[in-house]
């Protein structure tokens, strides 16, 4: 075997490794984080139960069945009439497999279906991010098809199963592998990405899509501006006033915060053991955590990374996911949970406090009753 052929074999194996561990979607629905990945260690469809505490070094994955062919680089959101359906759009199928444009997974009865959509409007793309709003509208910007990147906007109504095209006036340049998040003012922010010329998009400016008025705008950023990058993740912070990005290709530091009041970039203070960066991963906000799932990591660290973002002055990298009171708000932004930040110890404290308070109230009522009864006896005497 020649030396050059050996090198090709090694490169092919590395490429396969990259494919197998990065091209997944991660969608939070109620208390489960659903991972759909056609190439991940033969686990095509799994979920993580976030209603119980866990350690990232010992995660229990639950396997489900899927009808989706082997694929990479799809987009997903939660939607539907009851906001409990996983919608999987686009992606690239392997081995010439025939793959529907959109699949839907009903999390209440664990069944897959292929929604019937109007033909000829929405086109297949890969390497893009799906963003859903409180009306069940899934926004699909740009992405790639057969090596060509686009800057159009498809809007999929996950409730009425309809499709329309959004404005492209003043839209960003064609790109894929960007970061995106829904803001509390109904704007979608787009950051970074990879263009047709192979150039990484600059984070000196960010693009905003107004979902109410169907229009685009741009914001120039300042501060400690991150290096140009793509294949990153972005989430909205718990206070709704900052975007947190992590990882990507073409970076110096992996974690940055963008204050969206004045559009200033900062390097956040962190404690705990900082993980190495990764790319082609996904991120969700669950409770007080930024939960980073899978992706390519040259150091092969945990499948799940946890960043406690509850204190804006100091983020904490941790392996421990504490049990939360997770609400089931039917329309949380960006498919994220609106959980509180009460740990197990806090809940125990609240329970004990409630019990003690109840006992004191009971004794207080009893003594008040006795005092009132004695008073009435004295008055009669």
Q: Scanning the structure block, which residue is given the tokens 């991963």? A: 281
Q: Scanning the structure block, which residue is given the tokens 């229009």? A: 215
Is residue 135, in this structure, part of any structural domain at all?
A: yes
Is residue 355, in this structure, part of any structural domain at all?
A: no
> Above 70 in pLDDT, residue 128?
yes
Is residue 331, in this structure, part of any structural domain at all?
A: yes
Percent of the chain clearing pLDDT 70 (strictly above): 77
Is residue 112, in this structure, part of any structural domain at all?
A: yes
Spatial distance between the Cα atoms of 117 and 184, rounded to a whole number of angstroms: 29
Which of 63-67, 265-269, 270-274, 332-336 has the lowest average pLDDT?
A: 332-336
Is residue 379, in this structure, part of any structural domain at all?
A: no
CA 275 to chain centre: 18
Mean pLDDT of 55-75: 93
Mean pLDDT of 262-267: 98
> Above 80 in pLDDT, residue 130?
yes
User: Tell me: the pLDDT tens digits for 278-316?
Assistant: 999 999 999 999 999 998 877 767 789 999 999 999 999
CA 342 to chain centre: 21
> Above 50 in pLDDT, residue 79?
yes
Is residue 284, in this structure, part of any structural domain at all?
A: yes
Mean pLDDT of 78-89: 97
User: Tell me: the pLDDT tens digits for 197-214?
Assistant: 999 999 999 999 999 999
* Number of folded domains that form the chain: 1
Is residue 367, in this structure, part of any structural domain at all?
A: no
Spatial distance between the Cα atoms of 119 and 123, rounded to a whole number of angstroms: 9
Q: How many CA atoms lie within 13 A of 160 on its CB side?
A: 7
73 contacts 91 by C-beta, under 8 angstroms: yes
What is the domain extent for residue 163?
3-341
* CATH code at position 130: 2.120.10.80
Q: What is the pLDDT of residue 122?
A: 94
Q: What is the pLDDT of residue 37?
A: 80
Q: What is the pLDDT of residue 370?
A: 52
* Number of CB atoms found within 10 A of residue 40's CB: 20
Q: What is the pLDDT of residue 301?
A: 73
Is residue 359, in this structure, part of any structural domain at all?
A: no
User: Tell me: the pLDDT tens digits for 314-363?
Assistant: 999 999 999 755 443 434 444 444 344 444 434 444 444 444 444 444 44
């Amino acid at each position: 075997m020649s030396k050059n052929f050996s090198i090709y074999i090694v490169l092919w194996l590395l490429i396969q490794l990259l494919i197998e561990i990065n091209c997944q979607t991660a969608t939070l629905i109620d208390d489960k984080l659903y991972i759909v990945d056609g190439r991940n260690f033969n686990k095509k469809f799994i979920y993580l139960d976030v209603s119980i505490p866990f350690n990232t070094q010992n995660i229990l994955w639950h396997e489900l069945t899927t009808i989706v062919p082997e694929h990479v680089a799809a987009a997903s959101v939660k939607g539907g009439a009851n906001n409990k359906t996983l919608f999987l759009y686009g992606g690239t199928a392997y081995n010439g497999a025939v793959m529907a444009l959109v699949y839907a997974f009903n999390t209440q009865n664990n069944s897959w279906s292929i929604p019937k959509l109007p033909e000829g409007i929405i086109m297949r793309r890969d390497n893009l991010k799906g963003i859903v709003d409180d009306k069940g509208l899934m926004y699909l910007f740009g992405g790639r098809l057969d090596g060509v990147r686009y800057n159009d906007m498809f809007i999929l109504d996950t409730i009425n199963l309809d499709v329309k095209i959004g404005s492209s006036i003043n839209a960003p340049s064609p790109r894929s592998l960007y970061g995106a998040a829904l803001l509390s003012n109904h704007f979608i922010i787009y950051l970074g990405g990879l263009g047709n010329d192979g150039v990484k998009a600059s984070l000196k400016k960010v693009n905003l899509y107004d979902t109410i008025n169907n229009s685009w705008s741009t914001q120039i950023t300042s501060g400690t501006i991150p290096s140009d990058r793509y294949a990153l993740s972005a989430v909205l912070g718990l206070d709704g006033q900052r975007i947190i990005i992590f990882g990507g290709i073409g970076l110096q530091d992996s974690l940055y915060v963008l204050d969206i009041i004045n559009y200033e970039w900062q390097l956040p203070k962190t404690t705990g053991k900082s993980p190495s960066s990764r790319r082609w991963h996904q991120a969700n906000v669950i409770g007080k955590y930024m939960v980073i799932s899978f992706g390519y990591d040259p150091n092969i660290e945990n499948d799940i990374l946890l960043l406690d973002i509850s204190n804006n002055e100091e983020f904490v990298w941790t392996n421990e996911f504490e049990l939360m009171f997770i609400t089931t708000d039917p329309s949380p932004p960006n498919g994220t949970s609106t959980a509180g930040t009460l740990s197990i110890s806090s809940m125990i404290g609240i329970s004990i406090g409630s019990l003690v308070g109840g006992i004191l109230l009971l004794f207080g009522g009893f003594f008040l009753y006795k005092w009132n009864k004695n008073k009435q006896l004295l008055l009669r005497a």
